[in-house]
Amino acid sequence: MKYLLWLLKAAIFFTLFAFALNNQQDATVHFFFGTQWRAPLVLVVLTAFSAGLVVGVLGMVPRWWKHRRAARRADSSTKLSPAPTAPAPAAASSSAELLPPHGI
């Protein structure tokens, strides 16, 4: 399995390397107010991909902070409340006997 994963990584690398070699022509990106940027096509594609990645991560940051705050609140509330008591062993064994074996 490990060799198959390395083979897949090598195939992806060589595919992207061949893409870079085949797209060395200059491309012109036109911005607002008549500004433009001339660069190899591979660099333009890589820049667009990186910009999309940054925008996506920045769009997720508020949700990550929200979930992190909620996890901290839940953790602090469990520390403040007393620990729940475990059920009696006799009651646990009787309820386990009523359930069928897992997967059947």
Could you read off the pLDDT of 8-37 as tens digits, one per residue? Answer: 999 998 998 888 888 788 888 888 998 998
Residue 104: per-residue pLDDT: 58
Phi–psi pair at 30, nearest 5 degrees: -95, 125
11 vs 65: CA distance, rounded Å? 37
Give the domain ranges of the chain: 10-71
81 vs 71: CA distance, rounded Å? 15
Phi–psi pair at 83, nearest 5 degrees: -70, 140
This model's pTM is above 0.75 = no
Could you read off the pLDDT of 55-93 as tens digits, one per residue? Answer: 999 999 999 999 888 888 888 877 766 656 666 555 555
Element (H or E) spanning 72, and its range? helix 41-80
Lowest-confidence range among 6-10, 21-25, 48-52, 96-100? 96-100
- Of 34, 35, 36, nearest to 26 by C-alpha is 36
